[in-house]
Homo-oligomer: A and B are copies of this chain.
Amino acid sequence: MPSPEPRGTHVTLADIARHATVAESTVSKVLNGRPGVSATVRARVERSLHELGYRRRRADDAPGAAIELVVQEMSGQWALDIFRGVQRVASEHHTAIILTERSRRDRGEEWIDRVIQRRPSGLILGMSQLDAAARHQLVVRGVPFVIVDPAALPDGDSPAVSSANWEGGFMATRHLIGLGHRGIAAVTLPTTLMFARARHAGYQAALEQNGIVPDPDLTVVTGADRDEGLAAGLRLLDRDPRPTAIVAGNDLQAIGIYEAARSLGLRIPDDVSVVGYDDIPAAEWLWPALTTVRQPVVQMAEQAARMLFTLIAGQPLAITRLTIDVELVARGSTAAVTEG
């Protein structure tokens, strides 16, 4: 009777080579993203890695290997907060961080090949999407990864740290309802982004819980920048009756709504209340200072890094999907509704 096939961390390069009928050096090339392997052979090796359930052992890592943090091109503060959270944990482990900012134009799978060639001991992905092909590349090579603030609902196997987006949308709206507002408009990012969908659902739930029927005409779906917030603000504030409050999809949109109000001669919060989302440093510098939902990005990244080092050590995760609380920060941009 043949001995059972090896599994997981017991699988050696020799096992893979035998299974795929290639040389061990070829397996090593595929594992480390080095060139000189045909697409056919590479696919065969990847299939064997997958079928034998290969998991990289710590000893396979280069000594003092770095972890890699890949962030999507986005708001500067967001990327920096993620870096700071990861660094807190990485420095406890005396591990360096390779930082890569992925351009929005950087389509295709080349980026993941480059990441694999650098042989990081693990990856933190702060990016809107991890496509299935890139994910597969990491999984078959046994490179552990954790996603921060995922834009799509990750499959059950991908470890991820999110914030409580639905609750954030709910809190922002409930705060306005508590101040007497009922004509509450929403500016939201496209609901193909999971976090945007959750926040908007929270907004709708808060309205409904207070007997207000959400009016689809009071929702503008648009991009993440100030200019898009400005255009959305102009459109909403030009309506009759005018909404008395606007919940923005993020702080940059809220900054655009400030501009829209100013250009229409409306005062914040006297004529219209505004709530942002994120709590970037500038939220406090605006006049009036912006009421917003604080997303604890540093802590999210810290948790993701702790999960990653657990995976690198070959330990199982107690929780694969973690959600961190958000908090409403009330400042000067919201006030009790004035009698028309």
Binding site for B on A (CB under 8 A): 64, 66, 68, 76-77, 79-80, 83-84, 87, 94, 96-101, 114, 117-118, 226, 255, 258, 262, 281-282, 285-287
Contact = CB atoms under 8 A, between A and B. Distances in A.
B98 A98 contact: yes
Contacts of A114: 94
Given A64-B118, A80-B76, A285-B282, A96 B96 contact: no
A79 B258 CA distance: 28
Nearest to A97: B99
Contact of A286 (B94, B101, B118, B285): B285
Copies in the complex: 2
B76 A285 contact: no
A256 B58 CA distance: 50
A71 to B, nearest CB: 10
Contacts of A84: 101
A101 B82 CA distance: 13
A114 B96 CA distance: 9
A99 B118 contact: no
B287 A262 contact: yes
Contacts of A83: 99, 101
12 contacts: A64-B117, A66-B66, A66-B98, A66-B118, A76-B77, A76-B281, A83-B101, A87-B101, A96-B98, A97-B98, A98-B98, A286-B286
Nearest to A100: B96
Contacts of A262: 287
